[in-house]
Structure 1
Amino acid sequence: MIARRRVLAIAGAAAVGLLTGCGDDTPAAPLGPGPSPVTGGTPAADDLVARLDTYPSAYRFTPAGSIAYDDEPARARAYVAMRTEAVALLNWARTNGHPDIVPALPSDLAGQEYLLDSLVSNSDTLDSQPLFGAKAPIGRLIPDDETISSDLQGMQSAFSLIMLKTVLSKADYARLVTTSPLVTAAAGKNIISIYPYEDSKNKKGDVYVTLSSGIIAAFVKDPGLRWLIMNPGQGMSEADQKRLVEGGGTLFTEEGYRSIYIDSGRAQNKPATIARTLYDALRSVRP
């Protein structure tokens, strides 16, 4: 069971650690996706991400917050299902993924899902050691120690990042998670949370409700809102703060993080839809 849980630190959703202790609940106005980078005659990144729609799967994320904190059997079932789906995704990517990533994909690990432990937990070893049966290292999902966590949101975030990593070129993916304007302005600190906001406003009792009331209210107020970015302003340069404000961010914390919140319910808890939503959100702040 312990090994299973560790492996399952995978799905981190679409979105990863949940930022709490928010001071100002003023919602940020999200921007639409930025221009798609195109390299030579290769497809634009937007088109590559669209490939995720061809991934044949009926799997859906278990809504974060829907499992009571002491319901270990339900939590274990959600972890195992996500773990199994990760193997199916990587098998699909060996044929449908970007040529850059195919050499770094593991062999079919059905029945041996625990061998994905390092990937789902975003281990430093990913930068230097190939996964089982792979020819090259796959690299970390994201260069921070906050986004990928062992809770359900964290695993869903990891899963979403794995989906993006399999279809984008190495350069496009690296820009997305390391040098995009949003990440740079937030000093490289990443928080991604995937949560069913419309369902969370009435959750009480044994179910964890760690979302700021202002964040929940922003989603409830705007039926079309799929993602929201709340950005830190304290301890950042005036220039970076200006960029964040102009890009649709709201400056309100002192932690030094930028946080992306994704409503998994409005994405029907479908991993591919959540991954595409995350892709748009990560590119939302432009120079």
Structure 2
Amino acid sequence: MVDESPAALHCTAAVVPRASLLRSPLSVNRDSGGGVSLREVRRVHVLKFGSSVLARPAAYRLAVEEIRAEVAAGAKVVAVVSAMGDTTDDLLSAAREVAPSLPDDLIGSLLATGEEASVALLHLALVTGRVRAVGMSFSRLPIRTRGPLRAAEPVDVDAHAIETALATHDVIVLPGFVGVDATGITSLLGRGGSDLTALFLAHALGAAEVRLVKDVDGIFPADPKRFPHVKPIRRTSWSEARRTGAGVVQDRALSFAERHRVAFRVAAPGGTGTWVGRNDPPPDAGHGGEERARCA
């Protein structure tokens, strides 16, 4: 559950409406009655932190430093988080002990608790680090989905709610992997679904840059754990990333990015990694003089 104690109230004061009803095939709910626009705030960067990066509690402080650098460079940050470490696998194992048959309409609610806890932990780390941040649970700011509950497709999000939150905060922390279907049931975006969450939000918000923070510094032509001297591919296309990526980025996320022309970077914390997108050169933006990705 997201921290809403009095001590953190200054970081959670934004009033965020629920998302609109499901639309098809892809829609973004914006308030046509005026109000905050992304054009009125600084450029938006989407950073996704996976379970392998958030392997233990101390890793959340390292994530704060990644985010702080983006904020210092003038960006507003949408931070998408996976569950910490092996939390998802541990929850699945516990569920199988309780009930060998796992109903699709219940397993999502269970696994979502891992992402919700991760949102709260990063929010806490950001507030402790004096970063103006707000954490949002998927029930407060859901991504609407359609299709199978364990391999759902994101189709709608209330972008205006995110814009409103970023008008008064430098960072909004959101859960990856989970969504809500048209009937209100918790849905999952498949294994590695936080990648899809991040790229979907980048597209919906028209984000300037999106970076998937991994435990390896990019996409490699061979497994760097088996071949430690292999160098990452610095630039590649979406389709090539699917062929050579060896699961570094979720296949469905890559298909979404190619379909919607969302370029992005895959990198370890502090690394340069691999730029994935069109054939033109990647931008030379970002903190520390590193190249960063942006939506094509």
What TM-score comes out, normalization by structure 2 length? 0.29
Higher RCO (CA < 8 A, seq sep 6+) = 1
User: Normalised by the size of structure 1, how large is the TM-score?
Assistant: 0.30
